[in-house]
Amino acid sequence: MPNLKPASRLILQGHPDLMCLHAPVQDLVHTLSAAERGVVSKAVDSRRQEYATGRWLAHQALVELGFEVDSILTGPKREPLWPDTVKGSITHAGGHAVVAVTADDTVAGVGVDLESAGRVGDSMLRRILTQRERASLGEVDPTLLFSAKESCFKVLFPIFRQYVEFQAVEVSLDDANSSFTISYVGDRPDHAVIEQAQGTFQQLDGCWLTCVSLLN
């Protein structure tokens, strides 16, 4: 394909078990299977390109792990449906797409999320952040906390098949190590397993990229 911008390996510090690939969003709709094209047949061009780039990366990552599948379809909450022994996550924002996958059976769940820095404004804070998070925010971009919570939800939903409220999870940043700890403050005790997860963050071309991985 002319002007194809290839995928590149992305190192996620603190997550050595993950295969992570990154590429700029581009017109790769022709690479989708018929079933995948059907998922975004009514979407606007920008959404189709994001979806196609994410699936293109996901197929490459699966091949790296020894899997070849015709389609990576979408579940009821827009989550990617991976082969049974694979855990993974897809994200896109700011003209970029990122995929992280693993077939390591010690990993219970993976979540990655990419958000354009500064996306979360003051009007969204009370819905997304707990009172304690708002009180300690300081100069931190709240978009980073939003992204961290999205990554947590991407870990929890495939396990429990239940929606998790933003304020059910509290995130505490460790800037020195580009990591964060997670506290579950909601009303479903089984979801507190997320407190055992490893959370990290980094910047990618004007975006926040967060990753959460949970071991069995």
Q: pLDDT tens digits, residue range 154-200?
A: 999 999 999 899 999 999 999 999 999 999 999 999 999 999 999 99
- CATH tag, 112-215: 3.90.470.20
8-103 maps to CATH 3.90.470.20: yes
Phi and psi at 171, nearest 5°, equal -115, 130
DSSP assignments along 82-135, one per residue: --TT-EEEEEEETTEEEEEEE--TTEEEEEEEEEETT-S-GGGHHHHS-HHHHH
Confidence (pLDDT) at 2:
56
19 pLDDT tier (thresholds 50, 70, 90): very high
Fold match, 8-103 / 112-215 = yes
Quick check: 50 and 66 in contact, CB under 8 A? no
Domain-wise residue ranges, the chain? 8-103, 112-215
Q: Which residue has the higher pLDDT, 88 or 2?
A: 88
pTM confidence score: 0.95
Q: Which residue has the tokens 């069995």?
A: 216
